[in-house]
Amino acid sequence: MTPRQPDEPRTLAALLVPDILELLESSPDAVAAETEEMHPADLADVAEAIPEHLLPLFFRSLPGDRAASVLEYLDEELRTTLLEEMEAGQAATLVAAMQPDERADVLEELDEDHADDILEAIPEAARRETEALLEYAPESAGGLMTTQFVSIPDAETVEVALARVRAIAREGKREAMNTVYATDANGVLSGVLSLRELLAAPEGARVSDVAWSEVRSVIATADREEVARMVTEYDLVAVPVIDAHRRLLGVVTVDDVIDAIQEEQTEDVQKLGGMEALDDPYMQSGFLALLRKRAGWLSVLFVGELFTASAMGWFEGELQRAAILTLFIPLIISSGGNSGSQATSLIIRALALGEVTLRDWWRVVARELGSGLALGSILGVLGVIRVIIWQQLHTRGVTLGGLPMGYDYGPHYVLVAFTVGTALVGVVTFGTLAGSMLPFLLRRVGFDPASASAPFVATLVDVTGLVIYFTVALAILRGTLL
């Protein structure tokens, strides 16, 4: 992402905090009027800036719906602390006023005892609704959906539908209101139309006449990734969620889809960096949790890297005879790792976006073989040039500020240069191929392709790269250095 400005001050929130603190002390009842026009996200910023012991009072000072909206935008950790420390009655009132999907999410964050206490204090209907939502996995369509949406029997007229929407809107329900879903006599999803299309529909028409009969929907157990793909592909603002009988259960709104996309992306970047994905934002992760997520993969990679020590051992004889070869080991294996890192990033992202699919693997092989050979040749030529220039600098005794320049690679320096160049072609080609194929392989066996992290590829290429390097050296230098 392009740079966010260094610490844009949240002016509005920051400016308001002193006023609100004063009001909380003198006349808490005035807080609601003072903050009436503010977006709940901004009011949540205010809440995060006032002392924690004043928060219960602050939330009591707001009307119920308003307090619930602010709670939805509040920092997760703070919200959990607040609800757990609050008396169960007040917490239940707040939570009951939240949107059903947010309510389920919030209860999932609490420890089980507190969640149960609050759940029991919630009115019957809301409790049932919440318990039903809690049944779904948090990363499924069911876990993302809200049960507040507008559905209309498709035999009704447009006027009846509009009156229904108006009534629901006046109740102050907030979500999934830009789209109206039509259902048949069995509750099966039969059509969709936007609020705007409903407004534009001719008077007297039946909903079934004006609704679009081809509705994109997802089953409640679908992964959130599938929901995100559908929203992206069809430019939707809401996706209806159905059960196995196509009965309408709820609606996933686009704001939750965007959050899901961002979370998935964070996970992908962390995996690509060679660690397990964090459960919480970086700054909110505990030191030990952070360490655990990193140490696991790092140790696995380390054990993989131990094979480089073994590989070096196999070529001990060659290393002793031609110590000059040692100098280029980091250069050669790292170039393989870097080219592998490029290839794996490209393919992981193309797979995630559906730009390539498993069956494209051979087309990718062909492309990456070409790319690898070309990139390897470029680096190979750079490598040969470097060895020859350094040798010339040494031979001609060039100095810079009194220091001798260049390096003496010995009488066979041309052969050494070609060994380095050829090894680079081989290692970069191997790195590129391995980096591009590993994500396919992981998906094929059912893993997340993003686990083909840059460090994972680099480790693979380090060990193989050493073998390639020494094999090339043996072929070129046999009879001279080796």
Chain positions 284 to 323 lying near a second copy, rule: CB under 8 A, are: 287, 290-291, 294-295, 297-299, 301-303, 305-306, 308-310, 312-313, 319-320, 323
Helix (H, G, I), strand (E, B) or coil at 190: strand
- Cβ neighbors of 395 (< 8 A, separation 6 or more) are 406, 408
Q: What is the nearest approach in angstroms of a second copy to the Cβ of residue 181?
A: 15
Pairing of strands 238-242, 189-194: unpaired
Which CB sits closer to a second copy, 404 or 411? Answer: 404
407 binds a second copy, rule: CB under 8 A: yes
Which CB sits closer to a second copy, 57 or 378? Answer: 378
Count of residues near a second copy by CB under 8 A:
137
Beta bridge partners of 146: 251
Stretch that binds a second copy, among 110-118, 151-159, 196-204, 244-252 (CB under 8 A): 196-204
Q: Which of 370, 351, 477, 348 is nearest to 423 (CA)?
A: 477
Side chain identity, residue 30: A
CA distance linking residue 456 with residue 452, whole number of Å: 6
Stretch that binds a second copy, among 104-112, 152-160, 280-288, 395-403 (CB under 8 A): 280-288
Q: Is there a contact between 275 and 300 (Cβ–Cβ < 8 Å)? A: no
Q: In the set 81, 194, 208, 221, which binds a second copy (CB under 8 A)?
A: 194
7 binds a second copy, rule: CB under 8 A: yes
Measured over all CA atoms, what is the biggest interatomic distance in the chain, rounded to whole angstroms?
97
Question: Phi and psi of 409, rounded to 5°?
Answer: -90, 10
Site track for a second copy across 344-383, x = CB under 8 A = xxxxxxxxxxxxxxxxx--x---x--xx--xx--xx--xx
CA distance linking residue 51 with residue 53, whole number of Å: 6
Phi-psi map region of 55: left, alpha, beta (phi>0 left; psi -120 to 50 alpha): alpha
Instruction: Give the dihedral of Cα atoms 424, 430, 436, 440; nearest 10 deg.
Output: -170
2 binds a second copy, rule: CB under 8 A: yes
Which CB sits closer to a second copy, 1 or 244? Answer: 1
Which CB sits closer to a second copy, 381 or 475? Answer: 381
Question: Phi and psi of 240, rounded to 5°?
Answer: -75, 140
443 binds a second copy, rule: CB under 8 A: yes
Q: What is the nearest approach in angstroms of a second copy to the Cβ of residue 117?
A: 29
Tokens of 71: 């709670």
Stretch that binds a second copy, among 54-62, 89-97, 242-250, 454-462 (CB under 8 A): 454-462
- Report the site for a second copy in 10-39 (rule: CB under 8 A): 37-39
Q: What is the nearest approach in angstroms of a second copy to the Cβ of residue 101?
A: 12
Helix (H, G, I), strand (E, B) or coil at 482: coil
Q: What is the nearest approach in angstroms of a second copy to the Cβ of residue 406?
A: 10
- Report the site for a second copy in 238-277 (rule: CB under 8 A): 254-255, 257-259, 261-262, 264-266, 268-270, 272-275
Which CB sits closer to a second copy, 127 or 386? Answer: 386
